[in-house]
């Protein structure tokens, strides 16, 4: 069964409720960008996350920021609401955080259970794309009623692909916010584990697609669940199975708790609580647009 179909409405509703925000042009109130960067601790080498859950094997041209420093970047520098639960972020040293070509990969974890990949080869992503696009009209009506501009899912910037051997999934979406002349690039990586999914999210502009796409193999290779937490360690006798599959990951189920999927009206009223459930540096994208103008 294609489990992603029934959550398309939730994806649309999530987009309808999301409001991108942006921060000041400096690195935080009363600080220059240079001062702000100097206050961060950039780590290198092998980084173990979340009580030995995952290890990042960073190549020399990448750095890692702790969850605390990541929160400062997201909130103080990029203008997102506080309270983001992340495992940190990975930053390419050459691009940096505040350059015109800067971007970062924000890491988080959803312990919703073992995600079955049995349907992976049966998913029609072109059909999924069309259904999401067709749903955009209703979504944008809701956004207009709430006083927000439209969000258009233009299409796949990178078609979803699942590596069955490594249990890693990646794709990219092209989004258009309002009448902006610059479209958003939302690149996603999901690493399946025994009890949940590791989320790696990158938000930038479409002009950076080629540069970021070239780094995806590196990001995939550097991220591994540790022994005992790997996908192959799943024990059906004691471990929980997630209520969704590969298709639902792409369509956006992890953006909300499964128990709320049937309560779309309540979800709409409570959208502020779920605004940054998947922590994205959307403020950085908006900041670039404003700085260009």
Contacts of 4 (CB under 8 A, 6+ apart): 123, 128, 244, 245, 247, 248, 250, 251, 253
Give the total number of structural domains in the chain. Answer: 1
> What is the mean predicted confidence (pLDDT) over 141-155?
86
Q: pLDDT tens for residues 59-68? A: 999 999 999 9
pLDDT bin (cut points 50, 70, 90) of residue 235 is: very high
Round to whole Å and give the CA distance between 50 and 87.
Answer: 7
For residue 275, pLDDT beyond 60? no
In this structure, what CATH number is given to the domain that contains residue 237?
Answer: 2.60.120.1690
> Which of 69 and 95 is assigned the larger pLDDT?
69
- The predicted structure's pLDDT at residue 233: 97
Please tell me the predicted confidence (pLDDT) of residue 134: 83
- The pLDDT value recorded for residue 288 is 37
Give residue for tokens 């080629």: 210
Q: What is the mean pLDDT of residues 136-158?
A: 86
Least confident of 78-82, 104-108, 180-184, 283-287: 283-287
Dump pLDDT digits (tens) for 184-201. 899 999 999 999 999 999
Tell me if residue 162 falls in helix, strand or coil: strand
| pLDDT for residue 218 is more than 90 | yes
pLDDT at 238: 97
What pLDDT does residue 91 have?
Answer: 93
User: Where residue 30 falls among pLDDT bands split at 50, 70, 90?
Assistant: low
When computed from its CA atoms, the radius of gyration of the chain, rounded to whole angstroms, is 18
Rounded average pLDDT over 167-173: 96
pTM: 0.76
> Residue 90: which of 35, 45, 25 has the closest Cα?
45
Query: Is residue 115's pLDDT more than 60?
Result: yes
The arithmetic mean of pLDDT across residues 231-237, rounded, is 97
- The stretch 22-30 carries a mean pLDDT of 44
Instruction: Find the angle CA(208)-CA(173)-CA(56) to the nearest 5 degrees.
Output: 70
Average the pLDDT over 269-278 and give the result: 28
- The strand ranges marked E within the chain are 46-49, 54-57, 62-65, 88-92, 105-110, 151-163, 168-177, 184-192, 197-205, 223-225
State how far the alpha carbon of 9 is from the alpha carbons of 74, 84, 132, 147, 176, in Å: 28, 24, 8, 20, 19
> Average model confidence (pLDDT) for the chain?
77
Domain that holds residue 90: 5-292
pLDDT of residue 279 exceeding 50? no
Nearest-angstrom CA–CA distance, 126 and 223: 28
């Amino acid at each position: 069964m294609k489990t992603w179909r029934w959550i398309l409405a939730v994806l649309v509703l999530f987009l309808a409720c999301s409001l991108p925000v942006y921060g000041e042009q400096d690195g935080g109130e009363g600080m220059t960008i240079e001062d702000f960067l100097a206050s961060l601790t950039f780590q290198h080498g092998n980084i173990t996350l979340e009580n030995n859950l995952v290890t990042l094997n960073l190549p020399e041209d990448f750095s890692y920021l702790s969850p605390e420093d990541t929160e400062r970047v997201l909130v103080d520098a990029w203008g997102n609401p506080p309270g983001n639960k992340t495992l940190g972020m990975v930053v390419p040293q050459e691009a940096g955080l505040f350059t015109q070509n800067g971007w970062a990969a924000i890491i988080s974890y959803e312990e919703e259970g073992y995600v079955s990949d049995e349907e992976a080869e049966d998913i029609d992503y072109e059909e999924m794309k069309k259904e999401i696009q067709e749903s955009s009209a209703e979504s944008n009506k809701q956004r207009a009623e709430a006083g927000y501009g439209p969000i258009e899912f233009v299409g796949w910037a990178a078609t979803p692909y699942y590596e069955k051997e490594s249990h890693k999934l990646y794709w990219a979406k092209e989004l258009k916010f309002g009448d902006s002349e610059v479209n958003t690039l939302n690149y996603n990586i999901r690493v399946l584990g025994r009890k949940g999914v590791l989320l790696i999210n990158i938000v930038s502009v479409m002009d950076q697609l080629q540069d970021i796409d070239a780094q995806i193999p590196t990001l995939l290779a550097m991220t591994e669940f540790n022994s005992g937490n790997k996908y192959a360690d799943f024990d059906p006798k004691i471990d929980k199975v997630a209520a969704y599959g590969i298709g639902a990951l792409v369509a956006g189920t992890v953006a909300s708790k499964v128990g709320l999927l049937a309560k779309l009206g309540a979800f709409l009223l409570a959208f502020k609580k779920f605004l940054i459930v998947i922590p994205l540096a959307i403020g950085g994208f908006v900041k670039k647009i404003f700085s260009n103008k």
